[in-house]
Amino acid sequence: MACGEFSLIARYFDRVRTSRLDVETGIGDDCALLNIPEKQTLAISTDTLVCGRHFLPDIDPADLAYKALAVNVSDLAAMGADPAWLTLALTLPEVDEDWLEAFSDALFDQLNYYDMQLIGGDTTAGPLSMTLAIHGYVPLGRALKRSGAKPGDWIYVTGTPGDSAAGLAILQDRLRVKDADDAAYLVKRHLRPTPRILHGQALRERASSAIDLSDGLISDLGHILKASGVGARVDLDLFPLSEPLLRHVEPEQALRWALSGGEDYELCFTVPELNRGTLDVALAHLGAKFTCIGQIMPESEGLKFVRDGAPVTLDWKGYDHFA
């Protein structure tokens, strides 16, 4: 059955599982009309995902929907924001109704999970890609930023970075993992990352800066250092690596993926000494480990890595979208 643009939108995307009170008008008019809560700052982020660059051509549409939303929610997590609304611009090479049903079902499952509402977008024909604009809000003056780190602050990461890069290597047949459970875990960390939205909200009163790990810790921590005008010392011996990863690759490769692989969507954040004692109470019940990996230094120190107490030189770089 042929499906034009408007019937496609009506059939697959004009359905409201979560109807938010702050949405005055959603899909179906020229613009969405939104009511911003009082004493809140609007947070907006946009990501474009292109087939062959950001996801594999044979990805399951449900996994694609999950990841597309997760990487955007992760941006809100890095700011300590509450997710609220989403727009989706979807470019399709053809109208495959089975694909659209699986994609839209998974998308709305995740929107419902995060109490979000799809409020508009666009569809057009062309090579498979999508652009999502996510909106949320954060209490006035309490947003996490990249620019607040100070010398003496401690550097933390959530979870176990490097797992996503290993999962991608498995999908591309660059890494063979015979243990089915370990392989499934690593692949899931790539296809279905977990945005640390509750961690970000809990850190609003405690962290001095934060960023999500989309391009690898070397690159993303570098953004904090540049925005804050500081340096850092990272202790490689402290870096958290998962057991499934270490069972199947050499420690040096695991560390390389953790520092430069990208697409982990964990949080890297800095905490003043005064607030360190409250982290366990604030984060321990949220389901993801958090690890101190180093300390913020004066800008003149640059970004330095140490192992066994001695400086080491790394030639690894983070993910580059134009490389």
pLDDT in tens, 18-65: 578 999 988 888 999 999 999 999 999 999 999 999 999 999 999 999
Q: In the predicted model, what is the mean pLDDT of the chain?
A: 93
Contact 296, 226 (CB under 8 A): no
Q: Which residue's structure tokens are 């604009």?
A: 133
Residue 300 has pLDDT above 60, yes or no: yes
Structure token digits, residue 16: 């409201």
Question: What is the CATH superfamily name and number for domain 5-139?
Answer: PurM-like, N-terminal domain (3.30.1330.10)
Nearby residues of 211 by Cβ (< 8 Å), 6 or more positions away: 78, 146, 220, 221, 223, 224, 267, 268, 269
Residue 246: pLDDT above 70?
yes
Distances (CA, A) of 313 to 147, 163, 273, 316, 317: 26, 23, 28, 9, 12
Percentage of the chain lying above the pLDDT 70 cut: 93
pTM for this model (two decimals) = 0.93
Instruction: Kindly indicate the confidence band of residue 1, based on its pLDDT and cuts at 50, 70 and 90.
Output: very low
Q: Residues comprising the binding site for ATP?
A: 121-122, 146, 214
**Residue 124: what pLDDT?**
87
CA pair distance 154, 238, nearest whole angstrom: 13
Name the helix (H) or strand (E) containing 254: helix 251-260
CATH 3.90.650.10 in the chain, residue ranges: 146-311
Is residue 193 pLDDT above 70, yes or no? Answer: yes
Report whether pLDDT(142) > 90. yes
pLDDT: is 320 or 185 the higher one? 185
The answer to whether 303 touches 234, Cβ cutoff 8 Å, is yes
Residue 323 or 87, more confident: 87
Q: Domain 146-311 adopts which CATH fold? A: Phosphoribosyl-aminoimidazole Synthetase; Chain A, domain 2 (3.90.650)
Report the distance separating Cα 289 and Cα 312, nearest Å.
26
* Radius of gyration, CA atoms only, the chain: 20
Q: DSSP assignment, residue 219?
A: H
Which pLDDT belongs to residue 322?
A: 38
Binding residues for substrate: 54, 263, 319
- The pLDDT of residue 206 is above 80: yes
The answer to whether 136 touches 43, Cβ cutoff 8 Å, is yes
Domain with CATH 3.30.1330.10 in the chain: 5-139
Closest CA to 261 of 215, 223, 219: 215
Please give the annotated binding residues, written as ranges.
30, 45-47, 54, 75, 121-122, 146, 212, 214-215, 263, 319
Numbered residues of the known binding site for Mg(2+): 30, 45-47, 75, 122, 212, 215
Q: Which residues contact 109 (CB under 8 A, 6 or more apart)?
A: none
- Give the pLDDT score at 316: 73
CA dihedral 316, 159, 72, 187 (to 10 degrees): 80
Flag whether pLDDT at 235 surpasses 80: yes
**pLDDT, tens digit, for every residue of 247-297?**
999 999 999 999 999 999 999 999 999 999 999 889 989 988 999 999 999
Residue 51 and residue 93: Cα distance in Å, rounded?
Answer: 11
Task: For residues 96-112, give the mean pLDDT.
Answer: 94
User: Per-residue pLDDT tens for 13-25?
Assistant: 776 655 789 999 8
